[in-house]
Amino acid sequence: MKRLPLALTAVFLVAALVLGCAPKPATPPAPQTPPPAPVDPDARNLKVAVLSDARNLNPYMGMGSTETYITGFVYDTLLGYDEEKGELRPGLADTWTVLEGGKVLRFELNKQAKFSDGKPVTAEDAVFSFNFVKQARFPGFMAITANVIEAVLVDQYTLDLKLMAPQSGSLRLLGTTVSIVPKHIWEGIQSPLNFPNLQPVGSGPFKLAEKVDGQYMVLENRKEHHRHQYDLEKITLTVVRDETVGIMSLLAGKFDLLAWRVDPAVAEDVMKNPGQYPNVKVAAAPSSSTTTVMFNLRNEPYNDINFRKAISLLIDQDKLIKDLLLGFGRTQGPGLVAPTMFYYNDKFPAVKADPNAAKALLDQAGYKDATGDGWRETPKGDQLVVDILTVNVPPQINVAEYLVAELKKIGINAKFTPLTAEALRNRQMAPDFDVSLFNLSFSNPDMMFFYYHTSRGLITGGRVAGFNYGGHSDPNYDVISEAMRAELNRDRYVELLKQMQEHIAGVYYHVPVFTADVINMYRDDRFTGWYNQPERSVSNATTYRQLRPK
Amino acid sequence: MTLRRLLRHPTGRVGLLLILLVTLVALAAPALAPFDPYNLDHRTVRRARPGGVHWLGTDAFGNDILSKLIYGARISLVVGLSTGIIVTLTGAAMGIAAGYLGGLADTLVMRTADILFVIPGLPLMIMLATYFGTRFYMIIIIFTILGWAGVARMIRSQVLSLKSQNYVVAAETAGATSLYVMSRHILPAVSPLLIVNGVLASAGVMVAEAGLSFLGFGDPVAVSWGKMLQEAQANHGLLFRAWWWIIPPGLAIFVTVLGFMLTGYALEEIFNPQVRRARMSQRLFRRLRKDPSLLTLDEPAGGGAVNA
Amino acid sequence: MSGAYFMRRLFQTAVLMFVVITLNFFLPRVMPGDPARHYYEDPRLSEEARQEIKALFGLDKPLSYQYFAYLKNLFRGELGVSYTYRRPVMQVISSRIPWTVALTASASLISIAGGIIYGAYAAWRRGGTAESALLASAIIVSAMPTFWFALLLVMLFAFTLKWLPAFGMVTPGLARGLNLPFLASVARHAFLPVVSMALSGIIGYAVLVRNSMIDVTSEDFVRTARAKGLNSRVVLYKHAFRNAMLPLVTRIGLSLSGIIGGAVIIETIFSWEGMGLLIIEASRSLDYPLMQGTMLILATITVLANFATDLVYAQLDPRVQLK
């Protein structure tokens, strides 16, 4: 027994030693300057770290970011889309025409295009792909192909897509999302939904040379691609799973790029202490995905615009961006369209926080503390506790915390309920919520229809039909948004979109909190040509095309 | 009475002292903590190193680590103790019913227990947490669902041997109802076992709760030690060499769990006089072997974990 | 072993298996929402399209029909197709099992071997420093969360000393197979996770072995052997040790499911692509077939391991069969 304390001490000593060694101050790792030798076999091999494996490579089933990364390089679509200019550009198709008042889309394919097995890409493959996607009923593509009647072969290199109704978004939606697959391989597939496609054959600029499940994937440049424009020979994607480890490996020179949005805290550290991160750069790009406070317009008192407006006056976007995003974010106007979009209506800049105005507005609208308990009641005299639903992760959960504190300061009793993403979606769809944090993006104008149109907020079978969880309903908006979807004239289209923003800015259905930047982290010692694009940061098509070894 | 004996017991004294310390810290948290981790206005410099106002530095949001540590005692104790108590009571009720009534009740309880023993606990926990959220009361419920069966088994075997004891048989022949016998004779007889189990289960649950929080399935609102470790990981504690995010919460868990374990062992010896004749180290060894692995959240390979 | 005992245990095991299989089917279905929902989550979909997708996954059929279809598939050894992998669940799981086993089995072997040696030594030198150290470390290990210990190891060896990789299973780019660089790389990556797991394992087994050795050495036949003048080392290893192995068999049997099931937190910390990480991944991406598949495999292994342990135990100790 006497020895027990002694032994305990010994074990503690060992433990203390372990602990004592760890908290050493950070020593900056030695800068790694790889020899600029032209003989380096890896000189044109871009090494990218990803957080998850590509679990399947079926271009119609893969939904994860690594999956779309790979299939995006391996397969071509008929068209490309230049997000900055808001313009379509050629893909497999050289030209495209809108016929019969928008009910037919005609594409003419490039005659040089070949699949990676050497067979040429013909209109038959494209026709097959569209009809296959429609018939196989890939869940992710049902909405995309909903407006398509069928694809029809015109000649060897020409095809028509026959649509049910003219829609402004159809060309972009169908042209840029449906990968064209080789008919000679896919027509034999019995069960398309369960086809993992682990040896993909596509006509894209790269082909998958190697894939080791859960470990890494190698993409190889297809120099024979009909629009050969990449200098990179290889892109190696390594699955790292843990962000910290990815960052450490980038620092050690094992990667050139991390293919995920890095934590603002890390970006801030890199900018403040560049000496500790030799050759490492961060790039922050504005995004269009805005965090908002969404109200359920079906419930009292959230159906009262004054109440919603008062809450919007409590949100100090600048402060939240500084505190929660460490400055890596932008304020967002009530029109909810990001300023980087070509249809942005600049009449609706971000609202400045003004708690006193909020108080005045509440007083005026009849939200007063009549019972003397320190909290305001509704104009009808009902007790009021605002319950804000949020997903249980930062920064959303911190936004909810902040809102509760601000509401309490102006005399409104409030609490917040953190939920898992799944549970939150359940509550929003039910719809069983009063106030909820909600991320939305209007980078695709069609979404302005899907988030706000009356039909998308109707309750069928115990759940909200679409994204309009709060049940916004306005006959006038419905008319404009329907007209927008059918408008083929660009100027009138943009005009309608601007009108819709005016409406959105006035209803306070989704009140913007902030728009977090997309931050990428990369090394610039091996390659030049990094291009920071809005929405994407440096991991974008332009960068990949421009990258040249140093 | 028991308390006095506990205080005279060498390890019991240490255990009780540790529990007392943690409980006091939890109760007096607002007075002890230099900052309020729940108050957004109390946030200061992010990732400050230990020193100055912040004895243990600050976290990624500028919250004082020492204050989080102090407030974290609350959630650990609440989850640990209430789960310990609820699991033990539920298990006791089931075990007594199964052991004493026998027949259908026995079959029902024991077969349910069999099922709970083979269903992998952690996946089930994650599934339940995904649907029902991870507020601390949900965690208590989930732990109870998964944990009662172990207690029930143990109590049942105890009850089976009690059933043939003279005083129980005498009460039965005197015409006492089952309910009367169970509550007046059986329950008091097994209650020392229950107390020991409750204390040890609390210790197991605290480790399990920390593990669950670490995986991201902890209470998203409450400040807890497991969550502090999870945040250290999520906020790149290793990258920033923020050792003060990692070491203090782990030590806090260790000290608290140790307190409960030592108290539990001591209580068992007090209730069970036969063991007391052996040397203390002998008794501890015996005790270590007997631990029911109540909630083996992350059973290391080989099942070698002495307990949870 | 008597045939009756075997049949009784076999019957119990079969019933238990059936209940587990049934529960595994119904559990996700009684939860709010439904298993294929994230497929028709796209709110641009019309209600008709939503129904079509449900039909595609067989979810429009009555529950009883789905249940029998599930049983039928199970009987053929099919666990369905993973939502995210688009591959049979069986295939996904079997690609993970070798990695998990590599990790957990080596940790187990080290634990068992180390535990037996340490435990036997502590028992032999009763009252010595080794015994006290064992007791002290046993108390510490049981109060310390394993994952915290693992974090400390990562902090020290991977980040401060930079001796070992902090994560992953192998350096990318190495040719896979039975070649030295590949195996060495795996071993380097496995070092920290194995050590984190083996620490508590060694101590746990050592306590067990020490206790049963001491039990056994105080039993009659050992005393007799000693009285006959046999040297104490022979007594220890030949007589006591064999009998002391009984509880060890039970413990090893119970740990079998852990060898396949992996250690969820350890695999998460070290990004080890095993079953544990798969479970987390499946639940994060709401891949129900995969979740159900892993649950079923783990439960089955536990049931079978328990069954096998009982049989072995009955063989070693015939008294059990009378119970």
More confident residue, B146 or C317: B146
Contact A3 C43 (CB under 8 A): no
Gap between the Cα atoms of B182 and A18, Å rounded: 52
Mutate to test the interface with A, among C47, C48, C52, C84 (most CBs of A within 10 A): C84
Confidence tier at C264 by pLDDT (50, 70, 90): confident
pLDDT of residue B291: 41
**Which residues on neighbouring strands pair with residue A459, listed in sequence order?**
A464
DSSP C207-229: HHHHHHHHHHHTSHHHHHHHHTT
Tell me if B236 and A247 make a contact (CB, 8 A cut-off): yes
- pLDDT band of residue C42 (cuts 50, 70, 90) is low
**pLDDT averaged over every residue in chain B:** 82
Contacts of C262 (CB under 8 A, 6+ apart): C100, C103, C104, C272, C274, C275, C276, C277, C279
Q: What is the DSSP string of A309-320?
A: HHHHTT--HHHH
Residue B79's closest CA among B248, B203, B236, B215? B203
Sheet containing A93-99: which strands, arranged edge to edge?
A: A93-99, A104-109, A158-163, A148-155
pLDDT at residue C239 is higher than 70: no
CA nearest to B242, candidates B36, B15, B50: B50
pLDDT of residue C317: 67
**What is the rounded CA–CA span in Å between residue C197 and residue A38?**
46
Closest of A510, A444, A455 to residue A477, by C-alpha: A455
The counts of H helices and E strands in chain A are 16, 23
CB C143 within 8 Å of CB B208 = no
Bridge partners, A151 (sequence order): A161
**Count of pairs with CB atoms under 8 A, one residue in A, one in B:** 66
pLDDT band at A31 (very low <50, low <70, confident <90, very high): very low
pLDDT at A507: 95
Q: Determine the Cα–Cα distance for residues B70 and B54; give it in Å rounded to an integer.
A: 13
pLDDT value, residue C301: 84
Rounded average pLDDT over C112-119: 90
Whether B236 and A4 lie within 8 Å, measured CB to CB: no
Give the span between the Cα atoms of C266 and A484, in whole angstroms: 53
Q: Is the pLDDT of residue C157 over 70?
A: yes
Of A142, A215, A464, which is closest to C170 when you measure between CB atoms?
A: A215
A423 part of contact set with chain B, CB < 8 Å: yes
User: What is the average pLDDT value for chain C, to the nearest integer?
Assistant: 80
Cβ(B136)–Cβ(B219) below 8 Å: yes
* Nearest residue in A to B238, CA atom: A244
Q: Alpha helix (H) ranges present in A22-119?
A: 65-74
Q: What is the per-residue pLDDT across B181-213, written as a single tens digit (0 to 9) for each?
A: 888 888 888 888 899 888 888 888 888 888 888
- A334: preceding bond cis by omega (within 30 degrees): no
Determine the distance in angstroms separating the CA of A291 from the nearest CA of chain C, rounded to an integer. 19
Asked whether the predicted pLDDT for residue A280 surpasses 70, the reply is yes
Average pLDDT for C249-259:
73
Contact A117, A201 (CB under 8 A): yes
The set of residues, in sequence order, having a beta carbon less than 8 Å from that of C252 and lying 6+ positions away, is B302, B303, C108, C112
Q: Say whether A248 and C159 touch across the interface (CB within 8 A).
A: yes
B202 touches chain C (CB under 8 A): no
Q: What pLDDT does residue C206 have?
A: 87
CB contact under 8 Å between C201 and B302, yes or no, is yes
Specify whether the backbone of A366 is left (phi greater than 0), alpha (psi in -120 to 50) or beta: left
Beta strand A257-258 pairing with A45-50: parallel
| Res A250 pLDDT > 60 | yes
> Which three-class secondary structure state does DSSP give residue A330?
strand
pLDDT computed for residue B287 by the predictor: 57
> Residue B99's Cα: distance from chain center in Å?
25
Percent of chain A exceeding pLDDT 70 equals 93
Distance CA C104, CA C196 (A): 11
Contact A24 B241 (CB under 8 A): yes
Mutation for C interface: A422, A428, A458, A464, most C CBs within 10 A: A422
pLDDT > 70? residue B69: yes
This prediction has a pTM of: 0.84
**Pair of tokens at residue B169:** 């048989």
Determine the Cα–Cα distance for residues A204 and A116; give it in Å rounded to an integer.
8
Q: Give dist(CA C129, CA A1) in Å, integer.
A: 10
pLDDT at C222: 61
Which secondary-structure segment (H or E) carries B230? helix B225-234
Sequence-ordered list of residues with C-beta below 8 angstroms from that of C78, at least 6 positions apart, any chain:
C88, C90
The arithmetic mean of pLDDT across residues C170-183, rounded, is 75
Q: How far apart are CA A221 and CA B67, in angstroms?
A: 55
CB contact under 8 A, C111 and B111: no
Split at pLDDT 50, 70, 90, the class of C41 is: low
Query: For A333-378, how does the pLDDT look when each residue is reduced to its tens digit (9 = 90+)?
Result: 999 999 988 899 999 999 999 999 999 999 999 999 989 899 999 9
Which chain A residues are within 8 Å of C46, Cβ to Cβ? 146
Contact A418/B at CB under 8 A: yes
Q: Report the share of chain B in percent with pLDDT over 70.
A: 88
Name residue, tokens 């590949």.
Answer: C182
> Within 13 A of A360's CA, how many CA atoms are on the CB side?
5
Residue C235: band (very low, low, confident or very high) from pLDDT cuts 50, 70, 90:
low
The per-residue pLDDT for A440 is 93
pLDDT tens, residue by residue, A105-134: 999 999 999 999 999 999 999 999 999 999
CB atoms under 10 Å from CB of A456, counted, come to 22
Residues of B in contact with A273 (CB under 8 A): none
The residue written with tokens 């868990």 in the block is B253
Q: C56 or A208, which is more confident?
A: A208
Across A72-85, average pLDDT: 91
Between residues B23 and C266, the one the model is more confident about = B23
CA-to-CA dists, residue A396 to A243, A400, A419, B135, angstroms: 20, 6, 11, 17
Task: Evaluate whether B302 touches C105 at the Cβ level (below 8 Å).
Answer: no
pLDDT digits (tens, 9 = 90+) for A313-338: 999 999 999 999 999 999 999 999 99
Contact B131 C33 (CB under 8 A): yes
Is the pLDDT score of B271 beyond 70? yes
Q: What phi and psi, each to the nearest 5 degrees, are found at residue B176?
A: -70, 145
A465/A329: higher pLDDT: A329
* Residue C160 near chain A (CB below 8 Å): yes
Distances (CA, A) of B153 to A69, A426, C314: 53, 38, 21
Burial of B90 (0-12, 13-18, 19+ CB in 10 A): middle
d(CA B62, CA A324) in angstroms, rounded, equals: 11
Task: Report the residue of chain B nearest C104, measured CA to CA.
Answer: B301
pLDDT at residue B273, as a whole number: 64
Cα Rg of chain A, angstroms: 27
Q: Categorize the per-residue pLDDT at A10 as very low, low, confident or very high, splitting at 50, 70 and 90.
A: very low
Strongest mean pLDDT among A48-52, C97-101, C290-294 = A48-52
Report the run of H or E that residue C303 belongs to, with start and end.
helix C288-316
Percent of chain C with pLDDT over 90: 3
Q: What 3-state DSSP class applies to A217?
A: strand
User: What pLDDT, on a 0 to 100 scale, did the predictor assign at position C234?
Assistant: 66
